[in-house]
Amino acid sequence: MSYELWILLTGSLVGLSCGVIGCFLILRKMSMLADAISHTVLLGLVMAFIVSQSMNGFNMLIGAAAAGLLTTFIVQLLNSSGIQEDAAIGVVFTSLFALGVILISLFAKNVHLDVEHALMGEIAFVPWNTISIPFLGAIPKSVVMLGSILIIDVAVILLLFKEFKLTSFDPNMAAAIGIPVLAIHYILMGLVSVTTVSAFDSVGAILVVAMLIAPGATAYLLTDRYVVMLFLSGAIGIFDSIAGYYGAKIFDVSISGAMAVAAGIVFLIVWMLSPKYGLVSKFLNQRRLSEE
């Protein structure tokens, strides 16, 4: 497979996995928590390195998942004690991220785990970091990681499809019929964490945040059906990645940055032209009512 196709495949896997997981965050009105987790997993990464003295991918995933769950737990704890959710997210986000930066400067100065790399990533280098897979040959490490996480995400969503749906739309009813709402919540946050860190090395946190929020928000404007929204969000995430890549080629700019910008542009277009929730349709409906 060519250099260009590997980059497109990597971006598409990020768009698909983050787009599908992001739908649940949109439905639960927890979009900003995605931003917090995507940054606080840096603390999990550096803690995993300090404990294991290794950059092994499995250790990084465990550390990231732990940091994501810790972020969610502290935010929920502060929120239940009376602090507004946005304030709780802001405090936890900045504190844990800053702690991760400090630990990197103290214990991981000579390790390829810098803040700029975690935030921005560099998808153009993906094809050169390969591992050998039997019968398949050399495959970029990021593609293997992202593909594996996507399979895990889909498997968990299928396994807990009803639980995710009920706890997203009506957590009180879910609790009343015996569904462990808090456990489902932490499982979802664990998926967000591992999905985020799987894309860190190749695309960085900025694109991950964009893909966790923009495709889901775009799909939300196009349909009121739960299943359709999941499929639409994944498809939009793939489209954003492909459009961003070719936009980056045309303007000679950052590929990850261009993909994030493409996600924002697609959302803006849908926000204006959505047949039910778009600005144009709302304006026409208001004008029609005023004329009547």
**Structure confidence by residue, pLDDT tens digits, 225-246:** 999 999 999 999 999 999 999 9
Q: Can you count the helices (H) and strands (E) in the chain?
A: 12, 2
Q: pLDDT band at residue 165, thresholds of 50, 70 and 90?
A: very high
At residue 227, the pLDDT reads 94
pLDDT at 114 (0 to 100): 53
pTM of the prediction?
0.89
Confidence of residue 292 (pLDDT cuts 50, 70, 90): low
* pLDDT score for 112: 58
Over residues 171-205, the pLDDT tens digits come to 999 999 999 999 998 899 888 888 887 777 668 77
Per-residue pLDDT tens digits for 35-82: 888 788 888 888 888 888 876 667 877 887 788 889 988 998 998 898
268: pLDDT strictly greater than 60:
yes
